[in-house]
Amino acid sequence: MYDQNLATGGSRLHAWSDSLLVDHAVFRVLWDNWAEVIPGKLYRSNHPTPSRLRAAAQRYGLKTLINLRGHRQCGSDALSREAAARLGLVHLDMAFESRGAPHRDRILRFAELYANLRTPALMHCKSGADRAGLAAGLAIMLEGGTAARALGQLSWRFGHFNRSRTGILDAFFLRYATEAEGRISFIDWVRGSYDEVALKRDFTASGVASFFTDTILRRE
């Protein structure tokens, strides 16, 4: 397990090798999976390399980096934290799951974080497909958008496959659309009516699609 140490040349080389080879950043060097979520305010991507983060901060005037993976013992985490600090960005950890029913307490924590966010902000997970899509959808809902618009953030265009186990994220927004949209605000529904257990019970994934995302793509 990588120990987050960047104090020496050898440890920095270890961080880069861990990031590129173990955390698969070799595939993210040229592919950023970038998109604007809320114009001028919020962006999404896969886990940025330090150079990509620097370029994005300069181009978009970023103030905050939101890590949707949570604090991890890996080279990618250590390098992006260091890069954020050097750029003067606020670094926030907001871990989400990609294959489970979104937790009420985490959604409410994200809502609080979003209400107090220094913007423009960039949020990332590993591949920028599933957790970034969930968080982007939540941001759209918190801005008063529709479930249909939120679902647009969970798209094959970002590498998200709704027939796999990650499709439970789509099912979450669809559940709100079916149960409460137009009658109850999204955040009030989350607080008072959203049933994580029922969502998990009712969702069925395709085994083939799940094999592809979990084993071939090796998503978190």
pLDDT in tens, 52-69: 999 999 999 999 999 999
Identify the domain containing residue 169 by its residue range: 34-72+88-216
Q: Look at residue 141 and tell me if it is in a domain.
A: yes
Q: Write the DSSP string, 44-113.
A: EES---HHHHHHHHHHHT--EEEETT-S-SSHHHHHHHHHHHHHT-EEEE----SSSPPPHHHHHHHHHH
Q: Look at residue 24 and tell me if it is in a domain.
A: no
Q: Look at residue 4 and tell me if it is in a domain.
A: no
pLDDT in tens, 143-200: 999 999 999 999 989 999 888 899 999 999 999 999 999 999 999 999 999 999 999 9
pLDDT in tens, 116-135: 999 999 999 999 999 999 99
Q: Look at residue 22 and tell me if it is in a domain.
A: no
Q: Look at residue 56 and tell me if it is in a domain.
A: yes
Looking at residue 42, which CATH number applies to its domain? 3.90.190.10
What does pTM read for this prediction?
Answer: 0.90
Q: Look at residue 55 and tell me if it is in a domain.
A: yes
- Alpha-carbon gap, residue 110 to 88, rounded angstroms: 22
Number of structural domains in the chain:
1
